[in-house]
Structure 1
Amino acid sequence: MRLGPEVNRILYVKNLPFKITSEEMYDLFGQYGAIRQIRLGTDPKTRGTAYVVYEDIMDSKNACEHLQGFNVLGRYLVVMYHRPSKIQKKPVDLDKKEQELKELKQ
């Protein structure tokens, strides 16, 4: 079976309850296969999100299909594949950087 190009071992999970523990995350996502790592967001900007890394890509695919929209403590999970190429990077102002370098040289 061929998998789509977006499928990988890392899932990005949003809309998590703020009070969920890592043990509860392992119980929930561990039903679908061996987990290598779970990273829960702790900063104010990342609270309610997590990364779940599976050992096998098929376990990741299975978890994504079954847990999308799953209700956890009154919140519906949003589960998607991690896509680092889609992360927005801040545009670099080259003129500003060049000016900073000139100031440092002096």
Structure 2
Amino acid sequence: MALAAKARGNVRLPPEVNRVLFVRNLPFKITAEEMYDLFGKYGPIRQIRVGTAQDTRGTAFVVYEDIFDAKAACDHLSGFNVMNRYLIVLYYSTTKGTKKKDLDKKEADINDMKQKYGIGEED
């Protein structure tokens, strides 16, 4: 086992750290090659998805092979200036996207139960 890999084995990362980074404030004209050049400096990349729709332009998902490479990229590229734009690099969290949907569904279920059992209605 390599010394660096052995040292990594004992490191505890914060729970939000994962292999998927969400990047905001990207220049609209950035190319895939430039993305790979910029983020590839920190380790092997599995995939980069750059937003092309009107509401996703300027954003991208970067998926690293290794969680430590993703952490290094997030630490070093957050606030990095690319084509006069300062990057916002965050760890992607699936729970953030689904939390609102879950709350809406629970609220609808509660309202259905209130109606079914006549709770909250005025006499």
> TM-score band (shorter)?
0.7 to 0.9
**Pairing 1:1-106 to 2, within 5 Å after superposition:** 1-87=11-97, 88-89=100-101, 91-92=104-105
**CA distance in structure 2 between the aligned counterparts of 1:43 and 1:70, rounded to whole angstroms:** 24
**CA distance in structure 1 between the aligned counterparts of 2:84 and 2:101, rounded to whole angstroms:** 33
| Matching residue's letter, 1:89 | K
Deviation, structure 1 residue 34? 0.1
Deviation, structure 1 residue 23? 0.5
**CA distance in structure 2 between the aligned counterparts of 1:39 and 1:65, rounded to whole angstroms:** 20
Deviation, structure 1 residue 89? 2.7
Extract unaligned runs of 5+ from structure 2.
Answer: 1-10, 112-123
Taking CA–CA contacts closer than 8 Å with sequence separation of 6 or more, which of the two structures ends up with the larger relative contact order?
1
Deviation, structure 1 residue 83? 0.4
Q: How many residues align?
A: 96
User: Greater CA radius of gyration, 1 or 2?
Assistant: 2
Which structure has greater helix proportion? 2
Q: CA RMSD in A?
A: 1.6
Extract unaligned runs of 5+ from structure 1.
Answer: 96-106
Q: Percent identity of the aligned residues? A: 64
Deviation, structure 1 residue 63? 0.2
TM-score w.r.t. length of structure 2 = 0.73
**CA distance in structure 1 between the aligned counterparts of 2:55 and 2:23, rounded to whole angstroms:** 14
TM-score w.r.t. length of structure 1 = 0.85
